[in-house]
Structure 1
Amino acid sequence: MNVFYGTMTSKGQTTVPAEVRELLNLKSGDKLRYVVKNGTVILKAKNKKAADLAGVLFRSDIDPLAIEDIDDIVSDAVVNQSAERQ
């Protein structure tokens, strides 16, 4: 487990440490999801698209996605598609 520290400004803003940005492959404009459960916060990058799942079930050269990651990707795609229609 890696631990990284940041500081919150008076406006509630913080900088994501460079190491975390690299680990999550974050780029400017990427969305972040904060999942809070039992007092623990999990930061998830929302920089995957439903198209990223194409062929994932049939490829032996990559690790399969966890069901939670699949749920996140599908829900993000639904939200984005709904927003584009309005």
Structure 2
Amino acid sequence: MGIEARISSKGQTTIPFEVRERLGLQTGDRIAFIEMEQGYLIIPRNRPVETLFGALAEYALPDTTIDDYDDAVGDGISGHVEGPTGEGKSVS
């Protein structure tokens, strides 16, 4: 089944060396967990969005470009950052 890791009683785990190396993860890097039908996809947050293109190809809409997705993400985030009335919100 691949590489496994154990979860502690605090819900913590160590990402195995082989996985960190393959993902290019370093101390202090952030990762995102994207829920998918089969489980979760782990995405390093220290990479440009272009590295995601192709990883989710089966979910892609026909005739879309990376710019289309980049714009859609920006549009989706703006509602959370600016709020519905355009008032700024703090983002961590």
TM-score normalised per structure 1:
0.56
Higher relative contact order, structure no. (Cα contacts within 8 Å, ≥ 6 residues apart): 1
Name the Cα RMSD after superposition. Answer: 3.5
Tell me how far apart the structure 1 counterparts of residues 52 and 41 of structure 2 sit (CA, whole Å).
17
Aligned: 1:36 with 2:23: no
Aligned length: 67
Aligned: 1:7 with 2:6: yes
Tell me how far apart the structure 2 counterparts of residues 68 and 16 of structure 1 sit (CA, whole Å).
20
Q: CA deviation at 1:66?
A: 1.4
Tell me what 1:59 maps to.
Answer: none
Distance verdict in 2 for CA 1:11–1:68, change over 3 Å: same
Structure 1 stretch 9-18 or stretch 38-47: which is displaced more? 38-47
Tell me how far apart the structure 1 counterparts of residues 36 and 44 of structure 2 sit (CA, whole Å).
17
Gaps of 5+ in 2: 57-65, 82-89
The one-letter code of the counterpart of 1:47 is: N
Q: CA deviation at 1:9?
A: 0.4
Q: How big is each residue's C-alpha offset from its partner over 1:31-66, in whole Å with a ceiling of 9 and x where there is no partner? A: 01111122511111111147xx6xxxxxxxxxx861
Aligned: 1:66 with 2:53: yes
Superposed structure 1 runs of 4+ greater than 4 Å apart: 67-72
The one-letter code of the counterpart of 1:38 is: E
Q: CA deviation at 1:3?
A: 1.4
- Higher helix residue share: 1
TM-score normalised per structure 2:
0.53
The one-letter code of the counterpart of 1:66 is: F
Distance verdict in 2 for CA 1:65–1:11, change over 3 Å: closer
